[in-house]
Amino acid sequence: MSDYVAPLKEMRFVVERLCGLEAFAAIPEFADTTSDLVEAVLSEAARLANEVIAPLNRLGDTHGVRLEGDVAHTAPGWREAYRAFVDGGWNGLSCDPEFGGQGLPKLVATAVSEMWNSANLSFALGPMLTQGAVDAIENHAADELKARYLPNMISGEWTGTMNLTEPQAGSDLSAVRTRAVPEGDHFRITGQKIFITYGEHDLTANIIHLVLARLPDAPAGTRGISLFVVPKFLLKDDGTPGERNDVRCVSLEHKLGIHGSPTAVMSFGEKGGAIGYLVGEPNRGLEYMFTMMNAARHGVGVEGMALGERAYQRAVKFARERVQGKPVGYAGKAGAIIEHPDVRRMLMTMRAYNEAMRVLTYACGMAFDLGAKHPDAVVRDAARRRGDLLTPIVKGWCTETGNLVTSLGVQVHGGMGFIEETGAAQHFRDARITTIYEGTTGIQAADLVGRKTLRDGGHAARELLAEMRADVTGLAANAEPRVAQIAASLEAGIAAIERVLRWLLSAQSEDPRLPLAASAQYLELWGVVAGGWLLARGAAIAADELAAGSADPTFFEGKLATAHYYALQILPQARALEPMITAGAAATYSLEADAL
């Protein structure tokens, strides 16, 4: 029996009302993405997530993955669930129809991805990495490689991996030592990679590794890295898996969480060199890999949000059932803990953060769609800037917030939350990796400050702030008093970002360390305010629906009340973050390194 139920009504509200399906009318590839289609896709995905994938979450955590020889065996039920996933066509939901994908918008795929990750993060990691590998091959590989590998990867018959990290090189990819020596129409790859998610498993007939390596004459540093396709099994002339390549899993990592997913140490070339095929041009591998990495960064942000949703559902259920003490103002002798003020505070905080994260991740997916497909170049370029700006915020803020929400989930359970059998602890443990995956929060914050703010003089940031300010004007005029309060809180948050932005642009010339010292708080500031902005839009819709006599007043009252809570309890953090950035950044260097 699953304890997860996909929040379909909430998902459809965000997809259809907040993000707006009408924007797809101008995009021929997405013109058929109607409300009826969205309902059908989400409902069917929910059935698989609720009934098949979610019940395996606890089993994957307790059973783990077993390595026998160089084959990683997943937990019981995993293979059958993955088969159902593939047979349903879910792996290729947003992929190119030319290679067998369904070509649906990233917006819809984001909502579906939320369900997989809420149901079972360890299970969902494989398809997420495969999607990233598909993106890299589709955007940068030669047509021959696309034809040979994409159809089976898009269908899910084969999975894909990302092989970046080495024992001596964590986030510093300039230190990569794996080598690629040319040999005819291919290369011989030798080296070792660590932390490779689904680097080895028993779910598919082949695993397609994307590997960063250096050519013999490559320049030093990141400019000398190339990208290679290295299959577990080499392909025969008919395209089916044949001879085993010289690549194997030498061990599995022992981890804090996500025990159901294999995280492998991979060895390439122990018997003379694994055969690999160059993707694109030599020495441009890092550039190509960022195609995969940026998709994965958005995907990991979705993971943080999805785990928050799962933790919230579990916490609410427990709080309704757990009877303990007499709550203040409660008429009976004892009541469920959901009646206690501090438990109510924690649950409202979890709910508000989850709704803010959801709309932020979906809006980023929508920006990807418009940036890739809209026929108007002006709209396309603006959407790309928006997606680029939001990606580090989604990845950094949603994962940090996901850690906070899953921690609150443990706290709601009290002592029972610290006991593994209740399940709350697993969500907390699983969430911890998300702030590290695909670049730590510090790396996302540095990207947001450097590449996404200072490099363009704050242009993309100001575009978004102008849109927020335009919305505040309309919100302030709303007849519902709570919407006006939301508008006032949002306006204060926008003003805080505007002042911080001016400080960043001047501080970089004063001391280039200062913007980076403040970058984590800058990222948090953006997350808090952008999440509040999008919730405010939802609150205005909800207020109008209630005023018009909506047939579903409970749902819309919930939207309005949650946004109001966020505006009063979470958005004010923006005013505290501002002086931490503008006045406090220099304090980071109050002590010399050897005095710490």
- Mean pLDDT, 10 residues at a time, the chain of 596 residues: 87 97 94 96 98 98 95 97 98 95 97 98 97 94 97 98 86 82 97 97 98 93 93 97 97 97 97 97 91 89 98 98 86 86 97 98 97 97 97 98 98 97 97 96 97 96 97 94 97 98 94 95 98 98 97 98 98 98 94 93
CA angle 360, 519, 408 (to 5 degrees): 55
> Which one from 438, 480, 524, 545 is the annotated catalytic residue?
438
Strands 206-213 and 263-268: unpaired
Strands 233-235 and 241-244: antiparallel
Which amino acid, one-letter code, is at 242?
A: G
CB 468 within 8 A of CB 497: no
CB 189 within 8 A of CB 269: yes
Claim: this prediction has a pTM higher than 0.85: yes
Strands (E) located in 221-354: 226-231, 233-235, 241-244, 247-252, 263-268, 274-278
pLDDT on residue 2: 60
Q: How far is CA 17 from CA 12, 391, 513, 565, 595, in A?
A: 8, 22, 42, 21, 54
CA angle 125, 131, 137 (to 5 degrees): 135
CB 188 within 8 A of CB 269: yes
pLDDT on residue 490: 98
State the residue for tokens 């070792």.
192
pLDDT on residue 171: 65
Own/partner pairs, 454-461, CB within 8 angstroms, 24+ separation: 454/504, 454/505, 454/508, 454/515, 456/385, 457/505, 458/501, 458/504, 458/505, 459/385, 460/385, 460/386, 460/388, 460/389, 461/389, 461/497, 461/501
Q: Secondary structure of 338-398 in the HEC alphabet?
A: HHCHHHHHHHHHHHHHHHHHHHHHHHHHHHHHHHHHCCCHHHHHHHHHHHHHHHHHHHHHH
pLDDT on residue 577: 98
Please indicate whether residue 438 is annotated as part of the active site.
Answer: yes
Q: How far is CA 398 from CA 12, 37, 132, 346, in A?
A: 20, 28, 19, 18
Closest CA to 125 of 53, 192, 77: 53
Closest CA to 219 of 311, 161, 286, 149: 286
pLDDT on residue 170: 62
pLDDT on residue 291: 81
